[in-house]
Structure formats: C-alpha cells, structure tokens
Amino acid sequence: MPRRVAKHPILGDLEETNEIEFEFEGQKLKAFKGDTIASALIDNGLDIFGFTDSGKPRGFFCAIGKCSSCLVIVNGVPNIRACITLVEDGMKVERQKGKGNPVW
Amino acid sequence: MKYKVCIIGGGIIGTAIAYFLGKMGETSVAVFEKRYLSSGATGRCGGGIRQQWSTEANVRLAMRSVQFFERFKEEVGMDIEYRQGGYLLLSYSEEEAQQFEKNVKMQREQGLEVEILSPKMVKEKYPYINTEGVVLATFCPTDGHANPHKATFGYAKAAEKMGIEIYTHTEVNEIDVENGKVKGIQTSKGYFECDVLVNAAGAWSREVGKMAGVELPTESYRHQIFVTEPLKYFFPFMAISFSKNFYIRQALHGQFIMGQGDKDEKPGINENVTFKFEKEMAKKMTKIFPFLENVRILRHWSGEYNMSPDAQPILGKSNEVENFYYAVGFSGHGFMLAPAVGEAIAEMILLGKPVHSDISYLDKDRFKKGIVQEKNVV
Amino acid sequence: MVKKVQALVIGAGPAGLCGSIAMAESGVEVLVVDEGIKPGGQLPKQTHKFFGHEGFFASIRGFEIGDKLYKRAIDLKVKFKMKTTVSGIYEDGIVLYDRDKEEAYDIKADFILIATGASERFISFKKNYLPGVYGAGAVQTLMNQYRVLPGKDFLIVGAGNIGLIVAYQLLQAGANVKAIVEASDKVGGYLVHANKVKKMGVPILLRHTIVEAIGEDKVRGAVISEVDEKFRPIKGTEKELVVDNICLAVGLQPSVELAAQARAKIEYIPELGGYVPYRDENMKTSVDNVYIAGDIASIEEASTAMIEGYIAGYNIAQKVTGKDLSEKIEKMKIELEEFRRGPFSLKVRRGLKKFGINYPEGGYRTEQQKDDGPAGKLRVKIECPQNIPCNPCETSCPTGAISVGGNINGIPHVNYDKCIGCGVCVMKCPGLAIFLIQEQEKHSIVGIPYEFELPEAQERVLLLNKNGEIVGEGEVEKVVKNNKGKTHIVFLKIPKGLENEVRHFSKIKLEDDEIVCRCEEITKSQIEEAINEGFTDFEELRRYLRISMGPCGGRVCRLQTLSIISMKTGIPISELESGRFRPPSIPISFKAIIRGDEKDEI
C-alpha cells in the first residue's frame, strides 16, 4: 500500500483491516475494507479515474460526492461517484470515458 | 587577585613567556588577552621560521628558536605542523647578491648551514619557478614553517596545565605604578596585583608602555596577506625576496600563503584589506610562479607589524619602572623568534638575566647609540 | 406509505448534530440524514484542535468532537440515516435517496433543520481539470479519513484557515508542501495557523496565484505568478513548481439548494459567503418550520455552527413540545454574541446586519503582553497576537495565571507570579502558540508543542525560528508526552539568547560522522572536543581546526559552530565573536585579477 499513511502523530498507527481485492481496468488491485473506490485507486497510485468527452483526464476533486469529477463505471454501471462509493470485494471498476454507456 | 607575573598579550610572545616561566617552576603567572588567543599579529602572520638574517643577534635568536621548534611537539605537546622545508631567498641585483653572500658568511660563522644557488641551480631544483632576473639565491634547509595558531595554543594549553591562568577577553585598562614600581593592573575583569609585569602586547605595545609611563619606540603598520585554494602539496619551502618584496609558502594543507610589504602604509592599526594588494600580488607572483595563474585567492586579511626603528625586537627590562619587562617591536618576526625570546625573558625575570641567549643588545636604550638596520625584512 | 417525523435534520455535521441533541434532549423525535459514510460532517477529517472555549470542545480535535456529538445524539435516541442524500424538498415531501440500498423515498417532517454546510469553491486556471487538482477538503478526507495521500509534493492555493490547516495536516501525514499561494496581500486565516506551517519552512507567497497546472495526464507541476492589485496575474513573474498535487483552498460557499427548494428566501450576502437563506436570530428562515444552522447560514467556525445548531434545535423543540426553553436559548445567544465580538467576525456581523440582526463588537483586550517574565524561571510565553475567540489557555491553567482579558476574544496575558511552567496550556492551545522558556546557566530551555513523530531525548536537532529558518543547533532535553491530547511538549536545550527565536526544530540526519564544516570535513565531535580543550572562541576554533577556512568562506558552518560553542559555554550567540568575514567572498583567480586590471572600461 504505497500511499497509505501508516503512521500518524495524531491518528495513530493504521489499524489492521481486512484486505479485499477488486479490479480496475482488468487489473487486480488490493484495498482495505472501508475504502472508497477513490481512496483505493489513489492508494494504488492511480490518479486518473476517467476521461471527459473531449478526452481530458480526470481524477477526483471534492471527495464528498459533490463535484462529479470522479465518475467511474462500477460493475458495468457508469456515473458512479468513486469518492463516496465503498469498494467491495470482487468489484469491477473501469475508467469512464465521457458519458457513460447505457447498461441493460 | 595576585600573581607573581602578569603578562599583557595572548599572542605567541606572551604565551611563550608564560610557558617558559611555568617550565622553570613559576606558575603564579597570568596572561591577559583583550580578545582571544592569537587574535593579533600572531594569528595573521605567514608562519615562516627563518634563520637567514643579516645581523648576528637575529641569527642566534633564530637558531636557538629552531632548536626548540624541532622538539616543540614532544616538549609542549602540540603538533604545530612544523616542517623544515627550507627558505629560498632570491636576489635580483648584484648589490643584493653581494649582501646575501656577506650574510651567508656571517650565518655560517654562527654555525648555520646555508647554500648559495645560481639561477640555473634554482631552476633545476624548482622547475616551477621562473628564475628570470634572479642573480643568486640562498637556501637554508633547516628553515621552515609552522602553524602559528597552534603554536600559541600549544604554549597556552601547556601553561594552563602547569597552573598558569589565561584570561581572554580581558582588556588591561590601567597599569598601577607607584614609586617607580608596578603594583598591579586594572582590567575589564577587575584588579590584579603583580610583582612583575610583562608587555607582550604586539601591535599595542607602545600604548601599553605608555600606561606604565615607559616610552617604547614602536609603530604598528598594516601588512596584508592572503591564501589560495588548496593545491596538492609540492612546494615545501618558503620563497622570499626583499627587493621584489614578497614571501610565499605552501601550507601542509595545500593552500599558498603569500604577502608583501607596502611602503605607503601609515602607522596605526588597520584590519581592512585592499584590492590593490591583490592586483600587485597577482601580477608579480604569476610572473615568478606561473602555476598560480589559475589558482584562486580564497581569503585575504591583514595584521600588524609592530616595527622597531631597526626592525629588530626590543627586549628587556625598563630602567624607569623597575619591574616592567617588555618583548615588543618584532617587526614581523615574532613568531619565529618566540621560543628563544620566551626563554630569555623568563630567565631574566626568574634568574636576573638571560642564560641561553644574549639579548642585552636588544634593549630599548640601544637606539640612543644609533641604528643598525636589519635588512632581511619583507 | 409516507413516513413522518417530528423533526428532520439534514446534515450530520456539528450544526446538525447539536441541533438534533438540543431537540432530543427536550423529547423531540429526530431523524438525521446525511450523505456521508461517517457522521460528523467535516469533523472526522479534522485532526487539529478546535478553537473556542472548552464548553464547546475547544482544544479537542475535530474527529473526536464528531465522535462525542454522535455518541451523545445516539444516547438521546436520535435516529441516523447515513449514505443517504436528501435529493429534494418537494411541495409534497422530502425525498431521501439511500445510495447504499439504492432506494429513494419521501417522508414528511413537522420541522426541518437544514445544516447542509458548504462546498468548496473552485477557481479557473489552465488545465485545472487535471487529476491532481484537488479540493483542500478532499485531500483532508482522503488523508485523514481514508489514510491515503494522493501525492508527495503539494501546492496549496489559498492562505485562509483551511489552506493553512490542510498544509499542516499534509506535513503531519508525511507529504511536502512546496508553497502556499495567496492572492491577497495578507494571510486570511489565523496567524497562529500560519505560524505552524511557516516554522516548518513552508513559504506563504502573498500576492501570488496559480495560473496553470502542468501535465498531460495528471499534474506534474504548477505555474504560479504574482498578481496585481486587481488579482490579475502579472506577466513575466511566472514560476514553475514541481508538484504532483494542487490543493485548492479558495473558500467555501453555502449549500443552499435544499433551503431554496423548501422555499426559504435566499439572498446574496457576500459577507456571509454568497447566497444564503434569510434567517432571524433564532435561525428560522422565511419559512416557519424551516430552520438553518452552520455554514449554510454563514461561513464561519465549527464553534458558532454548534451554537447555532443548539439555538435552532431549542427553538424547534419549544414549538414541538410547547416547553419554555427560552433560558437555554438565551444562554446560547449570549455565547454566540461573545464569539462574534472579535475582528474575525467583522464580516459576519456586517452580513447579519443586512438581515436586521445586530451583534455588538469589542469588549476584549487588544494589547499584547510586553514582558516575558522573570528570566531564569520556567514559564510560558504566549504568542497569540490576534483577537481569536478562544480561551482554553485561561480555563485550563491550574493556577489561574492566564487571562484573555474581557471576553473570549481577548489577547491572553500571563501573570508570571502565578505561572508555574506546568505546560498544561501548551498542550491545550489549539494554535500551538504557547511555548515554555527558561534561561539556564549554560544554555536555555524552550518547550515546544509538537504533533509529529517524537524525537528522542539527547537527540541533536536543528533549531528553527518561526519562519522555518535554521537559527542554530540544539539538543532534545526531554519529551513530555500527552497521549490523550496528542500535543506533546518537546523541551530543547538551546543556545542562550534564542528563547524567543526557537519555535520548531528538525531532526539532524545522522551520518557516520556529522560534518559541520563541509569544506574541511570537520565533524561535530571534533569541534566539541576542541571546545573541551578550551578553544571557546570561533576564531580560535577556526585557527585550531581550520573550520570555515575552506572555499565556502564559512557560510555553511559558521552558525552551526557558534551554536555548538554557545551550547557548551552558555554564552549567547549574540555575545560571541562571530569571527571575521574575510574577502574575497568567492575565490578569485590571479588571472582574473590581472585581466581585470588590464581592462580600462567597466
């Protein structure tokens, strides 16, 4: 967990929590239970969550579900706010490119 | 507070006298230094140790000193980076060459080993010197150089070990003289009584003399000096020319230390430096020592030569104030003479007269008889 | 089947939680809805201690306040629905969207307390869309709640309290903060917050802004520039910084959408943060059963948000239950009035005046304490120069030695006859603005509030002043741990005369041998040995050890050497001879001098 703040002078050491595995763009990644998709991706060094219609890269921005910068496709479903959606074991996450495709 | 001997001046002379007093068993001694040890001329000098002088007296004092420098480390207990790499004296005129030959004759009579070198021999021995214009050179292999700071520290620390007190940052403001006798000194750290007072105040020697009512004919003149960035050590001797007005040596550490005198200097204490000095030195020195061209000057400072009328030290005991001694007016050569002088003054104080060196002719009253100039001075 | 509650609180931040507590205390049935994962609003990501007074959790860290309030609310049987967004207040009901269960449903409520807080402002600059351009609050959430740092090197835009706090928290999490840029000509946040980061060497660049993010796929750097008096970037003043994160802390805007949907009257009051709902002094909007509290009402502090929450809550409870709660309401109003008397509430006072609500100002001490107390005594030194509504120093002092003077906004003064140097206030002060000092025989002691990985006793450290500049070298005397509050006190042995200079320290990286003089490779232990031998002057050491005789001219080692001397001898650096500064200041070749002399023009 390269970007995890394991030690903290105020918050103390990071508590051991269960690790889960999810998939991002077909790649298997690890996360902690309780992570949002955003925190899990960023911990894995992945800052680019998707691309806009015009092809510009996007990451998260507000982290509290307000700004819609962090939309991803989760288990085939687009427009999921990565910052306020908890990551789950076996979840399949993909970068959203522009507007999401309809799912049926 | 009372000490048998109080010494004014924490340079090489004051600390050497203290050391020799202690060595002879007198430890009721205190040294008073208004700044820090070696803060005056000692800490600013070139560090050369030379025996090739033009007067017998100076040669003898210097030879006596070299004997001591040779055992300094063992006896005093500090490595002062002493090296006997020799002094190469370069003459640039027939007249100067003749004087050199005369000097060598006298020096050899005193038992000093000195070589006379032709320009060709110089070139062969030291190919990195441009010998153009050199008429003749003399070389004394037992001359050398050492680190003047460490020598001062060495004397001071050894003296302290023997129980002698060193008061730094202690300025002497008044000398208390009563009935033609020094009773004590008033300092920035209080009053100290003493039986004997020694003036070893270097650049400030005349002022200190005045405090006791003793006129000392010394004047201080600024001398500038600089060092270069270090180079690999390859230049073991001191090179010097009186007519070209320079001296240069390489310290063990690798840096070149060099300086010259300036005839235009006015008397007085001046610790500033001039760029004119660097320009004159750069031009002159690169001509004679071409390897310097791409060497950089690292640090440039100045210090005082406490000049006497004949460029020889003024040593002795005052007639006017009976327990007032002086070792002043070294005219730029105090460092190298300090061992013999320290010993002689200590002997004068404790035994009534010097035993190992005759310094009677260096008394301040000698100038009444006329002046015999020491010529070998930069 | 439409559910109905007596009171709905939207938002589980400090205002909403306090509002729900006030109501539940009085027997009102309350439902709190919040879209976040954890209750507390922005509190769970606040690792710093809050200002205010201890009755409102001053000196307690934000995340702990959130936990305490939540626990209190739960004890009072307040119901919570988390991960649930109020997606609209309709004519016919209030729609709750449970994202977890993927359900949306409508409810009714007799009273609504809207405490939706605020969202971060954004600013425009080139490529501001790149991943790596993040809101300050977002970075806080990520690093303090999820414990993930989104990068290594940060640029912070904005020197208000949020920018300053986030910078400090980034440092605590182990990131680098390259700079804080601030377009105006002064730090907007509390100086005590600014001092916390300045002393750690973070530059605060006033009259600067960001003009461009560098990078194709994500942030690789930032271009900043100076701005003119109209905040326009000045061409030609651009500088590039290598950062992987640009953190925007350019202000907050009240989240008024739901209030507007509830048909509360919205007005544009810039002093309060932009568009805000009209409200009276009881926090009632223009709609009789709709109340607001916290940042939605005016961008302010958590402390005022909590008080507003109580005022709104008690008012609603009074209406629901018919009980007379005027005494409680009045008490809270007095609290609020006191908090708002200071200079940092000027804008809020002006804004509320437009709603016909008048708050008095003043009544507190403004002058700084002049004396530092008796030298030699272990005592506190308070460096709290602004009138901040905050007084834990006064209330925590066991001997009553500190008074803020007048109301809570006063500048604290110390009665040095009473101060016993116990350090309680040092650990309490939310601004980390209280230090302990004591002059001793050979050195001085300074006690520094410290919230980073603790050093070991006897560890040697570089001493930093309040601007993060190295002023000398010292040693850790001891560390007094504060396991509860987490603000520890590190006592440092410092050179005399620096008692009012040293405000932070950094650890010296230990190598095989610590070099002080790089040119001549002289080590610390060599210097100490020489001092032990009696070489106690800089010039003596220089001559003895060759320290500072190298090509750098003593630039590197002079001050360090002086500190070592001072520490060993007890002489203040100011009284030591600093040694000569000899020319040339850069080594100059013989050739250059000769060539220069041949030139006759400049």
Domain boundaries, chain B: 2-47+149-218+310-369, 85-143+221-307
Q: Which of chain B's residues have a Cβ under 8 Å away from the Cβ of C544?
A: 149-150, 153
- Kind plus residue range of the DSSP H or E element containing B74: helix B72-76
Amino acid at C434: I
- Alpha carbons C26 and C12: distance in angstroms, whole number: 19
Question: What pLDDT sits at residue C121?
Answer: 83
Question: What pLDDT sits at residue C510?
Answer: 53
Q: What residues contact B66, with CB distance under 8 A and at least 6 apart?
A: B49, B51, B84, B142, B143, B144
Question: What pLDDT sits at residue C117?
Answer: 94
DSSP, res C154: E
Q: Which of chain C's residues have a Cβ under 8 Å away from the Cβ of B37?
A: 537, 540
Instruction: Tell me the shortest Cα–Cα distance from C99 to chain A, in angstroms.
Output: 9
Question: What pLDDT sits at residue C2?
Answer: 60
Amino acid at C400: G
Specify the CATH number for A19-97; select among 1.10.3720.10, 3.10.20.440, 2.60.40.60, 3.40.50.150.
3.10.20.440
Whether the pLDDT of residue C579 is over 80: the answer is no
Span B287-297, pLDDT tens digits: 999 989 878 88
Question: What pLDDT sits at residue C336?
Answer: 95
Rounded to the nearest angstrom, the gap between the alpha carbon of residue B229 and the centroid of all alpha carbons in its chain is: 25
Span C220-266, pLDDT tens digits: 999 999 999 988 899 989 988 989 999 999 999 899 989 988 989 99
In which residue are the tokens 């308070």 written? C382
Q: Is residue C127 part of a domain?
A: no
Question: What pLDDT sits at residue A71?
Answer: 86
- Alpha carbons B65 and B359: distance in angstroms, whole number: 13
Q: Give the residue, C589 or C601, on which the prediction is more confident.
A: C589
Which residues are paired to C439 by β-bridges? C444
pLDDT class of C540 with cuts at 50, 70, 90: confident
- SS3 (DSSP) at C322: coil
DSSP, res B202: G
Q: What residues contact C438, with CB distance under 8 A and at least 6 apart?
A: C376, C377, C378, C379, C421, C444, C445, C446, C499
Across the interface, which of C37, C133, C453 has its CB nearest the CB of A9? Answer: C453
Q: Is residue C566 part of a domain?
A: yes
- Kind plus residue range of the DSSP H or E element containing B98: helix B94-109
Which residues are paired to B182 by β-bridges? B177
Across the interface, which of B149, B228, B295 has its CB nearest the CB of C544? Answer: B149
Question: Does 3.30.9.10 match the CATH number of domain B85-143+221-307?
Answer: yes
Q: Is residue C426 part of a domain?
A: yes
Q: Is residue C367 part of a domain?
A: no
- Alpha carbons C602 and C584: distance in angstroms, whole number: 19
Neighbours of chain C (3+ CB pairs under 8 A): A, B
C contact set with B (CB within 8 A): 533-535, 537, 539-540, 543-544, 546, 549-551, 553, 577, 580, 582-584, 587-591, 593-594, 597
Residue pair C558/B304 in contact (Cβ under 8 Å)? The answer is no
Whether the pLDDT of residue B139 is over 60: the answer is yes
Residue pair C566/C472 in contact (Cβ under 8 Å)? The answer is yes
Q: Are residues C261 and C222 located together in one domain of the fold? A: no
Torsion of CA B147, B151, B154, B156, to 10 degrees: -130
C473 backbone φψ class: left, alpha, beta (φ>0; ψ -120 to 50)? beta
B297 touching chain C per CB within 8 A: yes
When scoring C48, C147, C253 by the number of chain A Cβ atoms within 10 A, the one with the most, hence best to mutate, is C147
Per DSSP (E only), the strands in chain A are: 19-24, 27-32, 50-51, 57-58, 71-74, 77-81, 92-97
Q: At what angle do helices C302-321 and C14-25 cross, to 10 degrees?
A: 30
pLDDT class of C592 with cuts at 50, 70, 90: confident
When scoring C146, C200, C256 by the number of chain A Cβ atoms within 10 A, the one with the most, hence best to mutate, is C146
Q: What residues contact C598, with CB distance under 8 A and at least 6 apart?
A: none
A62 touching chain C per CB within 8 A: yes
Whether the pLDDT of residue C169 is over 90: the answer is yes
* B-C Cβ pairs (cutoff 8 Å, strict): 87
Domain C-terminal end among C455, C480, C507? C507
Residue in B with minimal Cα distance to C533: B157
Question: What pLDDT sits at residue C558?
Answer: 81
Task: Indicate yes or no: CB of C135 within 8 angstroms of CB of A9.
Answer: no
Domain of C34, CATH number, reads 3.50.50.60
| Residue count of chain C | 602
Question: What pLDDT sits at residue C509?
Answer: 63
Mean pLDDT (whole number) for B147-156: 95
Across the interface, which of A59, A64, A65 has its CB nearest the CB of C131? Answer: A59
Span C53-65, pLDDT tens digits: 988 899 999 999 9
Whether the pLDDT of residue C511 is over 70: the answer is no
Span A64-82, pLDDT tens digits: 877 778 889 999 888 888 9
Whether the pLDDT of residue B254 is over 60: the answer is yes
Question: What pLDDT sits at residue B211?
Answer: 96
Whether the pLDDT of residue C600 is over 70: the answer is no
When scoring C588, C590, C598 by the number of chain B Cβ atoms within 10 A, the one with the most, hence best to mutate, is C590
Residue pair C272/C355 in contact (Cβ under 8 Å)? The answer is no
Task: Indicate yes or no: CB of A5 within 8 angstroms of CB of C132.
Answer: no
Q: What residues contact C499, with CB distance under 8 A and at least 6 apart?
A: C372, C381, C437, C438, C439, C444, C446
- Alpha carbons C245 and C155: distance in angstroms, whole number: 6
Q: At what angle do helices B334-351 and B148-161 cross, to 10 degrees?
A: 30
Task: Indicate yes or no: CB of A8 within 8 angstroms of CB of C172.
Answer: yes
Whether the pLDDT of residue C560 is over 60: the answer is yes
C123 touching chain A per CB within 8 A: no
Domain C-terminal end among C223, C250, C277? C250
Torsion of CA B143, B144, B149, B151, to 10 degrees: -60
Question: What pLDDT sits at residue A103?
Answer: 57
Q: Is residue C359 part of a domain?
A: no
% of chain C with per-residue pLDDT over 90: 69
Domain C-terminal end among C190, C223, C250? C250
Span C151-164, pLDDT tens digits: 999 999 999 999 99
Span C371-413, pLDDT tens digits: 999 999 999 999 999 999 999 999 999 999 999 988 999 999 9
**What is the b/e burial string over C366-391, where b = at least 16 CB atoms within 10 angstroms of the residue's CB?**
eeebeeebeeeebbbbbbbebbbbbb
Q: Is residue C492 part of a domain?
A: yes
Report H helices in C10-160.
Answer: 14-25, 62-75, 136-140
DSSP string, C226-288: EB-TTSPBPTT--EEE--SEEEE---EEE--HHHHHTT--EEEEGGGTEEEE---TTSB-SST
CB atoms within 10 A of CB C77: 10
Residue B283, token pair as written in the block: 């031009």
Amino acid at A74: V
Q: Which fold has domain B2-47+149-218+310-369?
A: FAD/NAD(P)-binding domain (3.50.50)
Span B195-233, pLDDT tens digits: 999 999 999 999 999 999 999 999 999 999 999 887 778
Q: How many domains does chain C have?
A: 4
Q: What residues contact B142, with CB distance under 8 A and at least 6 apart?
A: B51, B66, B84, B86, B112, B113
Question: What pLDDT sits at residue B371?
Answer: 76
Task: Indicate yes or no: CB of A66 within 8 angstroms of CB of C119.
Answer: yes
When scoring A32, A42, A87 by the number of chain C Cβ atoms within 10 A, the one with the most, hence best to mutate, is A42
Across the interface, which of A11, A43, A65 has its CB nearest the CB of C47? Answer: A11
Tell me: cis bond preceding C374? Omega within 30 of 0 counts.
Answer: no
Whether the pLDDT of residue C68 is over 90: the answer is yes
Residue in C132, C137, C129 with CA at minimum distance from that of residue C158: C137
ipTM, two decimals: 0.79
- Alpha carbons B36 and B33: distance in angstroms, whole number: 6
- Alpha carbons B99 and B93: distance in angstroms, whole number: 10
Q: Are residues C383 and C496 located together in one domain of the fold? A: yes
Mean pLDDT (whole number) for C109-116: 97
Mean pLDDT (whole number) for B156-168: 96
Question: What pLDDT sits at residue C387?
Answer: 95
Question: What pLDDT sits at residue C64?
Answer: 94
When scoring B34, B79, B296, B300 by the number of chain C Cβ atoms within 10 A, the one with the most, hence best to mutate, is B296
Query: Measured between alpha carbons, how far is residue C581 from residues B224, C471, C530 in Å?
Result: 15, 18, 22
Q: What residues contact C504, with CB distance under 8 A and at least 6 apart?
A: C199, C200, C448, C463, C464, C465, C466, C468
B42 touching chain C per CB within 8 A: no
Residue C581, token pair as written in the block: 């500064």
Question: What pLDDT sits at residue C513?
Answer: 60
Instruction: Count the helix, strand and coil residues of chain A and give each as a percent rounded to the nearest 5.
Output: 5, 35, 60
C438 touching chain A per CB within 8 A: no
C239 backbone φψ class: left, alpha, beta (φ>0; ψ -120 to 50)? beta
Residue in B81, B41, B35 with CA at minimum distance from that of residue B301: B41
Whether the pLDDT of residue C551 is over 90: the answer is no
Residue in C with minimal Cα distance to A43: C148
Neighbours of chain B (3+ CB pairs under 8 A): C
Whether the pLDDT of residue C572 is over 80: the answer is yes
Mean pLDDT (whole number) for B300-322: 93
Q: Which of chain B's residues have a Cβ under 8 Å away from the Cβ of C593?
A: 278-279, 282-283, 297
pLDDT class of C3 with cuts at 50, 70, 90: confident
- Alpha carbons C69 and C25: distance in angstroms, whole number: 13
- Interstrand relation of B87-91 and B136-140 (parallel, antiparallel or unpaired): antiparallel
Q: Give the residue, C115 or C543, on which the prediction is more confident.
A: C115
Residue in C475, C502, C472 with CA at minimum distance from that of residue C576: C472
Residue C60, token pair as written in the block: 């307690």
- Alpha carbons B303 and B246: distance in angstroms, whole number: 15
Task: Indicate yes or no: CB of C580 within 8 angstroms of CB of B301.
Answer: yes
Q: Domain range spanning residue C517?
A: 513-602
Question: What pLDDT sits at residue C486?
Answer: 92
Span B36-46, pLDDT tens digits: 999 999 999 99
